[in-house]
Chains A and B, each alone.
Chain A
Amino acid sequence: MTVMERLAPQLVTGAPLLTMSGISRRFGAVVALEDVAATVWPGEVLGIVGESGSGKSTLLRMMNLEDTPDTGTYHLALPETPGNLFDLDRFARRQLCARRIGIVYQNPHLGLLMGHSSSGNVAERLLIAGERSFATLRAKAKGALEASEFPLTRMDDPPRQLSGGMQQRVQLAKAIALEPALLLLDEPTTGLDVSVQALVLDTLKRLQRDRAITMVIVSHDLGVIRTMADRVMVMRHGRVVEEGLVDQVFQDPQHPYTQELVHAKL
């Protein structure tokens, strides 16, 4: 007795922003991803949940074009990128990532130049995209930091002097500075104090509401996914074991693993 097969979307108009299909990746004998498919619609927040080694972060890195799968295709519905993004050359990938995709890593060292100023970290992204006016750089960096609810009195301090929560806000400001089509969040609040975590999530939620940014958020924390996501993909051993609306997956999980996960948490 299984649930019924779901039909193809009928009511949403237009194409999904992100479409990945047939993604497989092996590291030697280890299967990191096995025939994974993902779809994200414009304005939607997709959560990806799973334990360490489930392949969720590897998948996110592929969405950021940092890694290429052995097989599979990746499309973003943007005018400048008609084909499979994995076929793009290095230069085109970099340009696409700088202009269209923002990412916030769990480890701020991956996303930030710790010794440069916080506003400079945000400005660098604008510089890569070709902005050359100092006044504009300054104003846009300020605007992005403000939108991330970063205290502007500290905007020229280097991230290495900031708390973990503030570092994540700098990463976020950098990620949204160019108003990306897609915002990727890799365990954005893991390792933060619970109270700080709530505030960072709240900032993300606000941004999502005010700007309708399409997001993909990876977390092992079900609470984070429940707060942030519209739909969720549950991954295990490199496969998607279950996918659905967040309230449905958490209230009526179908797969034994999801049930275990949900019951262990709630």
Chain B
Amino acid sequence: MTLATLTRPWAAMSYGFLDASAKREMRRKIIKAIAVPGCQMPYASREVPIARGWGTGGLQVTLTLIKPASVVKVIDQGADDSVNAASIRRFLSRVSGAAETWDTLEATILQSRHRIPEERLRDDQVLVLQVPNPEPLRPVQPNMSIARQMHADADYGRLWLVLYEQMVRSGRIVQGAAYPSLVNGRHVMTPSPIPRWDVPKLHMAHHLTLLSAGREKRLYAVPPFTRVEPLVFSDVPYQVEDHAGLTCHRSGLSGVFMNEIPQDSGGSVFEASDSNLGIKAIRQAEGEATKIGPMWYENGELRP
């Protein structure tokens, strides 16, 4: 036996890029976050080869969870083909040997910025959301030490106050993305800048959602079958974006969340924000054997 037989061959990096101690810390923090749904856990947030603000938080979680058998889907505003999504997805497969996919149904880990796919996620899938600002109290309490005390006290009166003042000023709730939501009846979280359309998908979901902010070094989780309730007044119902009546001009899909594309004519057309769903719909229309999974919304109404 020589020293060489006991030593692993030199490699440029650890499996999955992050070193063992970094992953160990991430695993511990993820478990903690799952144990206290919606509660922000601080973590070290290592350097990864993309810039802060481009999904480093989500990337670190995905790198920790990934294994050779994983199938990863990465979306940016619903699109699999944006430069950022493509780069992250290629990086993930290169450092782990995991397979890449665009199809929500095939993925085991979905890393996303600003959207949740329209097809219902299953209990064998993990959704990783990239979070720019994890603190829902920041707009009402700039001092983060005090904000933490407010979380400890479940003192969320000021978040309601913001909604109250929106009602007073505008007659409706104008909060769009990142709608503050109460998790498991205890902690208010920001669900990352997903549209109001996507927030109800987190409520009593079958899948695990991990939300991670790399620059802010905070991660939190919505475990499967956990209540996620957007803050609303009892007499002012929560409303999602009014997209139910819109039709995607490319795929013909309707009843899904749309991107508005302004036209030179001054009008605008719409296209499905979940781009791979649009692609599948087109393929299906062209007679290809493509499977579209069960959807969260049906005719613009959330299914129970």
Contact = CB atoms under 8 A, between A and B. Distances in A.
Direct A–B touching, Cβ under 8 Å = yes
Given A90-B153, A91-B153, A94-B153, A127 B235 contact: no
Contacts, number: 51
Contact of B158 (A91, A113, A119, A135): A113
A171 B164 CA distance: 18
B165 interface: yes
A192 B289 CA distance: 79
A216 interface: no
Given A119-B168, A120-B168, A128 B235 contact: no
A133 B164 contact: no
Nearest to A129: B157
Contacts of A133: 233-235
B177 to A, nearest CB: 22
B162 to A, nearest CB: 8
B237 to A, nearest CB: 11
Contact of B157 (A124, A138, A156): A124
Contacts of A120: 161, 164-165, 168
A137 interface: yes
B145 to A, nearest CB: 15
A119 B235 CA distance: 18
A127 B233 CA distance: 10
B238 interface: no
B155 to A, nearest CB: 7
A156 B158 contact: no
A57 interface: no
A24 interface: no
A69 to B, nearest CB: 22
A135 B167 CA distance: 10
Contacts of A116: 161, 165
B164 A135 contact: no
Contact of B160 (A117, A127, A135): A127
Nearest to A117: B165
B36 to A, nearest CB: 16
A123 B161 contact: yes
Contact of B161 (A91, A127, A156): A127
A132 interface: yes
Contacts of B155: 94, 128
Given A133-B234, A134-B233, A134-B236, A127 B157 contact: yes
Contacts of A123: 160-161, 164
A166 B167 CA distance: 23
B157 A132 contact: no
Which of B153, B154, B160, B165 has the most chain A CB atoms inside 10 A of its CB?
A: B160
A136 B169 CA distance: 17
Contacts of B168: 117, 119-120, 138, 156
Which of B155, B161, B169 has the most chain A CB atoms inside 10 A of its CB?
A: B161
B158 A137 contact: no
28 contacts: A90-B153, A91-B153, A91-B154, A94-B155, A113-B161, A116-B165, A117-B165, A117-B168, A120-B164, A120-B168, A123-B161, A123-B164, A124-B161, A127-B157, A127-B160, A127-B161, A127-B164, A128-B157, A132-B233, A132-B234, A133-B233, A133-B234, A133-B235, A134-B167, A134-B235, A136-B235, A138-B168, A156-B165
Which 5 pairs show the lowest CB-CB distances between chains A and B?
A134-B233, A128-B157, A127-B160, A127-B157, A132-B234
